[in-house]
């Protein structure tokens, strides 16, 4: 386990899980949204070459299945996928709380952007996007992992399963 993608719907806990995996295995962690998102929710200049540079190295952990511009490179080089395939009843309340907290606090997120109350009116808001694409994302990830025999895929159906794996023998390096 040297090149790891932690994949899931927004709000499932990808970043937290990816940080833990990276720390347990002494691998560099890269937060995809930090690399990708610039001011005004734009794509950062240099995003694609930066991800390509990282992906060409021998060790990394990303908290994303990949923006379309870099998705194929990530999946071609990854050796492990950790899929947080949690049910809606777990993911959507987490995402709702996170987005409400961000909207209320107006704390800057990626690229200095802030979640605003008026953003909730857009279908592109992370919460509404998750609600409308939940099943589609799950099917896409199932297909993507099924057709890549070079990947070791760890699919977790609950936070407890992930925790057991992370805390188990080998600190998540087995099974």
Tell me the CATH number at 102. 3.40.50.300
pLDDT per residue over 39-77, tens digit each?
A: 999 999 999 999 999 999 999 999 999 899 999 999 999
Distance CA 157, CA 91 (A): 11
- Look at residues 35, 25, 16 and name the one whose alpha carbon lies nearest to residue 80: 25
Q: Does 136 fall in a domain?
A: yes
**Total domain count, the chain:** 1
pTM: 0.92
pLDDT of residue 172: 56
Q: Which domain holds residue 12?
A: 3-166
Asked whether residue 75 is assigned to any structural domain, the reply reads yes
Distance between CA atoms of 163 and 150, rounded to whole angstroms? 25
Q: Is the dihedral of CA 6, 25, 154, 80 positive or negative?
A: positive
155 located within any domain:
yes
- Token readout for 101 is 């907290």
Give the pLDDT mean for 116-126. Answer: 90
**Could you tell me if residue 53 is inside a domain?**
yes
């Amino acid at each position: 386990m040297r090149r790891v993608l932690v994949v899931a719907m927004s709000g499932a806990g990808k970043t937290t899980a990816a940080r833990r995996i990276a720390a347990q295995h002494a691998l560099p962690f890269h937060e995809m949204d930090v690399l990708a998102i610039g001011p005004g929710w734009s794509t950062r200049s240099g995003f694609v070459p930066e991800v390509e540079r990282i992906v060409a190295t021998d060790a990394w952990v990303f908290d994303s299945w990949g923006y379309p511009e870099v998705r194929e490179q990530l999946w071609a080089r990854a050796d492990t996928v950790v899929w947080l395939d949690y049910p809606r009843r777990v993911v959507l309340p987490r995402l709702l709380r996170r987005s409400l907290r961000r909207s209320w606090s107006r704390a800057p997120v990626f690229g200095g952007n802030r979640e605003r109350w008026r953003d909730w009116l857009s279908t592109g808001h992370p919460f509404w996007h998750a609600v409308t694409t939940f099943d589609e994302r799950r099917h896409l990830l199932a297909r993507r992992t099924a057709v890549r025999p070079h990947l070791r895929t760890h699919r977790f159906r609950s936070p407890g399963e992930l925790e057991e794996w992370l805390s188990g023998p080998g600190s998540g390096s087995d099974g």
